[in-house]
Structure 1
Amino acid sequence: MPLIVFAAAVYLKRVKGVKIEAILYGAYEAKEEDRVPIFDLTKLIDLFDWMIGVEFLRQRSDAAFLAEQIAETQNRLWKENQQGERPTKLKKLGEGLKKISQALQLLRPLKVMEFSQELLPLFEQASDEVKTWAKPFGVVLDEIKREIKELAYECDSQKLTGENLRRQLAIIRHYIDKGRYTEGILLTREWIVDLVAYKNLKEEWLDRDYRTNTIELALNSSLKKKKGEEALVPEWFEQLAESEKLVKLWGQIRDLRNSIAHCGKTKGAQEIPTSIEKQLKEIYSMLEKLLD
């Protein structure tokens, strides 16, 4: 019976938005003489919420639910405990994770690197508070910290360097590992443009006109020429090391990107999801070699 009540309570809270004040269970079968023990099962609901938040973060890098749970915990502890020890960094940790999560969702790799770097010190500062007041999150704290550390970049993210490109590759890998292939494809396309800018020693890599009318034009022209079509390829591009490999990868990722952007509604673009996943992983492995 307690399990049925618990399941119903979880359903009502998650689906109907019902606020659960308490779940109390009178264990009649465990009574002693005329006294029946009463168990407070409310914390099981909290544990379930923590489990959902942690799982969303681990599986999809979605920290919104976990950040909400962390904030609710800190607010409740401050309300209940006016005099004693209270957490001060829990909420900041949750908010930091949420910022990274949003930057990942909105394809802002430079912000992902920046926010991740800002958050790293908080893992140490909030560690004791997590272990005391957010134990379900504490179980995966080190795992999440390792993931964030791979995305962090301590230098100016606006400056294009080899390490900047490596961190962006780590973000692409992160997308692939989490099954977020659309974001992975879109960032991979832009990463190739970044790599060409890096090889061309150009600092205006964030200038939209330069990216479109210089780099992308060179890549597209070279791709046309490779297919036997008439096209004028800039000399600077042809002189780049491994320009042929870059053009091949550009053609592959461009087709994948167009297939995604147009929802597969073009001729020859009816790839099944597993095919898209396989192609992206193959392209990623070649990107790593290009950077090396």
Structure 2
Amino acid sequence: MRKCLSFVGTGELKPARYTLNGSLCDTTVIQKALAEFYHPDMITLFVTGKAKTNNLSTVITSLSEHPHTLIDIPDGRTESELWEIFDKISHAVGPDDEILLDITHAYRFMPFLAFLTALYIREVTGATLWGVVYGAYEAGEDFCDHTGQTRRISPISDLTSFITLVDWMMAVRSFVSFADARGMQAMVTASRIPGSISSPYPDTDPYETLTHLADSLRQFTAGIQLARPIEAANSGIEVMKHLANVRNKIHADFPALNPVLEKINEMPPFAQTRSSSPSWSTLESQLAIISYQVEKGLYLQAAELAREWMVSAVICHQGLFSSWLKETVRTDAEEALHALTIRKKRKNYKSSPMVRRLEQITGWEKIANTWQKISRVRNDLAHCGMREIRKDAKTLENNVLAIPGELENVYQELSKL
């Protein structure tokens, strides 16, 4: 159901000519104008005791042809009254409702409270926030209509773009906190850009430019979330390239996105270094990716990548840079690490050229310990705790948090050539 949530004011209802996109309505009651402009299925009136005494009868009379309902609310003088207002607004909305929020006569703090409540309702119940409007009586000029009545031209201001701003805030938070750019990509795809203005670049499409940036961001975070370090690094370079290309255009066309650009610009250095060519710097970049995954709570991905990182580190230590992705070479490196863990336990192990070179490292036992720890963490996570012997979630989390430091020590040992 399409509902208009509106507040009955306490002040004098003055004659106005409300305007919206070329339509006009002569009335003293904003709710009547909204009913004619937006055609909601129901108008829900929130009314305080004073508003009921002063203006309610006039408002109800003007809405005689429009479905409406009445909800009493307190003045909001105390915190408990504020929460009562929140509760009443919340209960006025169902999960399938589309809400038009009118804050024209919402007194003092009420617009702020109503807007936050509407956003809360949208996130919790699944209702749609159709729009936010304000009848700007004070913004117009007086004139005499054909009856000689003095009226004030009062444009209805559409504040709905601020909903988009809130959605961008949430999308940016997802990117910054959880390495998830899907929200930003969806906003750009839907052309939902807060505060957009006409482009001074007639030969370019700013939305297309933003699309390239958003798509590369999505590819970058997909690489992080799916533990694809090569793709993540390469996509990160594309992000920075598109960011450099569009910075001035976004500044001119979408000024509200400038803070977003700064957040993107804070991407870690590994996102700006191609890692398709194996080298010690490649391993260093991938170690930064693992740290980034741990920071963003991507524990399973970090553990999976950490295990593969150790295999790659051994391959680089052996000088087999060009063969680092070959299955046979990676299997040999895995077996060499396993051999070290067996030797540490003073048991018979299978030697090989790889093993013998690793044994020459002073800190080979530390490397074996780290391999064993990471393998156990990775296996425990991969099996989802469905084993008789398993770690609890808190212990696993602590073990994952320790991974970057453990790998840094391995890097220092193996890179000493």
Deviation readout 1:18-40 (Å, 9 max, x if unpaired): 362x3212367999985467442
Deviation readout 1:14-60 (Å, 9 max, x if unpaired): 5536362x321236799998546744221220110110111111101
Note the C-alpha offset of 1:120.
1.8
In the alignment, which residue of structure 2 is the partner of 1:258?
379
Q: Is the 8 A contact 1:77 1:86 kept in 2?
A: no
Whether 1:130 and 2:218 are equivalent positions in the alignment is no
Whether 1:111 and 2:221 are equivalent positions in the alignment is no
Q: Is the 8 A contact 1:2 1:25 kept in 2?
A: no
Structure 2 stretches of 5 or more lacking a match? Answer: 1-109, 143-150
Which TM-score applies when normalising by structure 2?
A: 0.61
Note the C-alpha offset of 1:282.
3.5
Note the C-alpha offset of 1:92.
0.6
Q: Is the 8 A contact 2:225 2:298 kept in 1?
A: no
Give the match's secondary structure for 2:134: strand
For 1:128 and 1:29, the matched residues in 2 are separated by 36
Q: Is the 8 A contact 2:237 2:272 kept in 1?
A: yes
Taking a change above 3 Å as real, the CA distance of residues 8 and 77 of structure 1, as seen in their structure-2 partners, is closer
For 1:129 and 1:115, the matched residues in 2 are separated by 21
In the alignment, which residue of structure 2 is the partner of 1:276?
399
- When Rg is computed on C-alpha atoms for both structures, the one with the higher figure is 2
Taking a change above 3 Å as real, the CA distance of residues 75 and 131 of structure 1, as seen in their structure-2 partners, is closer
For 2:122 and 2:398, the matched residues in 1 are separated by 39
In the alignment, which residue of structure 2 is the partner of 1:187?
305
Matches within 5 A, 1:132-147: 132-147=252-267
Which TM-score applies when normalising by structure 1?
A: 0.84
* Amino acid paired to 1:255: R
Taking a change above 3 Å as real, the CA distance of residues 101 and 268 of structure 1, as seen in their structure-2 partners, is closer
- Alignment RMSD, CA only? 3.2
Note the C-alpha offset of 1:288.
4.6
In the alignment, which residue of structure 1 is the partner of 2:189?
71
In the alignment, which residue of structure 2 is the partner of 1:246?
367
For 1:116 and 1:288, the matched residues in 2 are separated by 23
In the alignment, which residue of structure 1 is the partner of 2:327?
208
For 1:270 and 1:176, the matched residues in 2 are separated by 18
Deviation readout 1:233-271 (Å, 9 max, x if unpaired): 224322233433321211111111112112233415235
In the alignment, which residue of structure 1 is the partner of 2:104?
none
* Amino acid paired to 2:391: A
Taking a change above 3 Å as real, the CA distance of residues 167 and 5 of structure 1, as seen in their structure-2 partners, is same
Taking a change above 3 Å as real, the CA distance of residues 17 and 204 of structure 1, as seen in their structure-2 partners, is farther
For 2:122 and 2:185, the matched residues in 1 are separated by 18
Give the match's secondary structure for 1:52: helix
Note the C-alpha offset of 1:189.
0.8
| Structure holding more strand per residue | 2
Whether 1:3 and 2:122 are equivalent positions in the alignment is no
* Amino acid paired to 2:364: S
For 1:32 and 1:4, the matched residues in 2 are separated by 30
* Amino acid paired to 2:323: E
Matches within 5 A, 1:25-40: 25-26=134-135, 35=152, 38-40=156-158
Taking a change above 3 Å as real, the CA distance of residues 176 and 17 of structure 1, as seen in their structure-2 partners, is same
Note the C-alpha offset of 1:140.
3.7
Note the C-alpha offset of 1:8.
5.1
Which fold has the larger relative contact order, with Cα–Cα distance below 8 Å and residues 6 or more apart in sequence? 1
In the alignment, which residue of structure 1 is the partner of 2:164?
46
Whether 1:170 and 2:288 are equivalent positions in the alignment is yes
* Amino acid paired to 2:273: Y
Q: Is the 8 A contact 1:256 1:276 kept in 2?
A: yes
* Amino acid paired to 1:192: M
For 1:279 and 1:173, the matched residues in 2 are separated by 10
Give the match's secondary structure for 1:89: helix
Q: Is the 8 A contact 2:299 2:397 kept in 1?
A: no
How many pairs were matched up?
287
For 1:141 and 1:30, the matched residues in 2 are separated by 34
